[in-house]
A and B are shown apart, each in its own frame.
Chain A
Amino acid sequence: KAGVTQTPRYLIKTRGQQVTLSCSPISGHRSVSWYQQTPGQGLQFLFEYFSETQRNKGNFPGRFSGRQFSNSRSEMNVSTLELGDSALYLCASSLNSGDYDEQFFGPGTRLTVL
């Protein structure tokens, strides 16, 4: 079974631009979560989608948004990029069939904002 895939793996943007990152979950998984990892703030939860609905949201500004499609693939968008948005963005998928299911992480997208 294929793992979680994220595209692109690396991205370079300039301040003020916007970016879209994609995450394809493991087949059959319906929940997708996004995390931002930076040296200063560590790993922080962005949001989680289940059956195309955002169920949980972290403490990030409205410039960060996401969505999930009917095939469970998810995208996250960051508008008006700032230097501080440079980070590794990780997505994780899970079955979410019960109380809690293991989250399987993708390899991440490394975003550099210049």
Chain B
Amino acid sequence: AQTVTQSQPEMSVQEAETVTLSCTYDTSESDYYLFWYKQPPSRQMILVIRQEAYKQQNATENRFSVNFQKAAKSFSLKISDSQLGDAAMYFCAKIQGAQKLVFGQGTRLTINP
């Protein structure tokens, strides 16, 4: 079975600073999709950013960007200028088959004012 691993159960960062969340995955596919989801205390899962494996360029969405290292099977999320509203659980996920997401265990991000 394919796995997604997040090695940082918790992270904290000062407001306005930059933080990077790590994710590694296992796959034998050459083309696939990777995602970062945010789950705030409300429990609503929100897509933060997605990366298509065949694209060399790292995805960016405003303050959020990824460092996608295909050979190393690494997919980290960088949050710049951290804001209090960024506090949440962050899940790395990979698509497997039709619409099936495989999630990592999550990283709890705390923003210190």
Task: Spell out A's residues near B (CB within 8 Å).
Answer: 31, 33, 35, 42-45, 48, 50, 55-56, 58, 88, 90, 92, 94, 96, 100-108
Q: In the assembled complex, which residues on chain A have CB atoms less than 8 Å from the CB atom of B91? A: 43
From A43, A90, A103, B99 is in contact (CB under 8 Å) with: A103
* Closest Cβ–Cβ distance, residue A91 to chain B (whole Å): 10
Say which one of B16-24, B56-64, B102-110 lies at the interface with A.
B102-110
Q: Answer whether residue B84 sits at the interface, using C-beta atoms and an 8 A cutoff.
A: no
Task: Determine the distance from Cα of A14 to Cα of B99 in the docked complex, in whole angstroms.
Answer: 32
Q: Does B11 contact A (CB under 8 A)?
A: no
Given A102-B47, A105-B44, also A42-B106 (CB < 8 A): yes
On B, residues with C-beta under 8 Å from A are 33, 42-47, 50, 91, 93, 95, 97-106
Q: CA separation between A48 and B98, bound complex, in Å?
A: 8
Chain B residue at minimal CB-CB distance from A94:
B99
Contact residues in B for A44 (Cβ distance below 8 Å): 103
Contacts of B101 on A, CB cut-off 8 Å?
A: 33, 35, 43, 45, 92, 103
Task: Please name all residues of chain B whose beta carbon is closer than 8 Å to the beta carbon of A101 when the two chains form the complex.
Answer: 99
Q: Can you list 11 pairs linking A and B with CB atoms under 8 Å apart?
A: A33-B100, A33-B101, A42-B106, A43-B93, A43-B101, A55-B98, A92-B101, A94-B99, A96-B98, A100-B99, A105-B44
Q: A42 vs B105: C-alpha distance in the bound complex, in angstroms?
A: 6
Residue of A nearest to B44 (CB): A107
Contact across chains for B47 and A56 when beta carbons are under 8 A apart: no
Q: Which residues of A contact B95 (CB under 8 A)?
A: 100
Closest to A41 in B: B105
